[in-house]
Amino acid sequence: MKSSIYVFNLCGLFFIAVGIFYGFFTDFTELVGFPALLLVGLMALMIGVYLWLTDRRVGRQPQDNDDAEISDADADYGMFSPWSWWPIVSAGAAAVAFYGIAMGWWIFPFGVVLGIVALVGLTYEHDRGDFAH
């Protein structure tokens, strides 16, 4: 977590400095890039401060220890199916739906139907076949 704190705080300071320089070089007349760079810097600083406060409260994390094992982490990360094809179908459904929004609304329902099929398949993949519980 320490490295994440440094990365986010450094990025925040960098984007704020770049935003201020950008404002001076454009005489503060271009009002899209200057506020955008400042907001990106503030958001990065906000994440960095949150991580710093969390690190102070929680203490040393396994990811900060170079000799830590995967099993040293407290939380259960869940069960993942390395053989599953449903995430790829879900991504394809999202791609078709977004393509439909961009190119023609008549394509969008095909993406929605494919997304519903993918969601049902992803939800019930452990209830059927060889991998049923």
User: Domain residues for 35?
Assistant: 2-64
Residue of 129 and 25 predicted with greater confidence: 25
Is 90 found in the same domain as 58? no
23-77 pLDDT, tens digit each:
999 998 988 999 999 999 999 999 999 999 988 887 777 777 778 777 777 666 6
Q: Which helix (H) or strand (E) holds 116?
A: helix 108-123
pLDDT of res. 57? 85
Q: Is 59 within a domain?
A: yes
Is 7 found in the same domain as 43? yes
Is 59 found in the same domain as 21? yes
The answer, as to whether pTM is greater than 0.85, is no
Q: Is 81 within a domain?
A: no
pLDDT confidence of 129, banded at 50, 70, 90? Answer: low
Q: Is 32 within a domain?
A: yes
3-state secondary structure of 36: helix
Is 54 found in the same domain as 6? yes
Please give the Cα distance from 18 to 128 (Å, whole number).
55
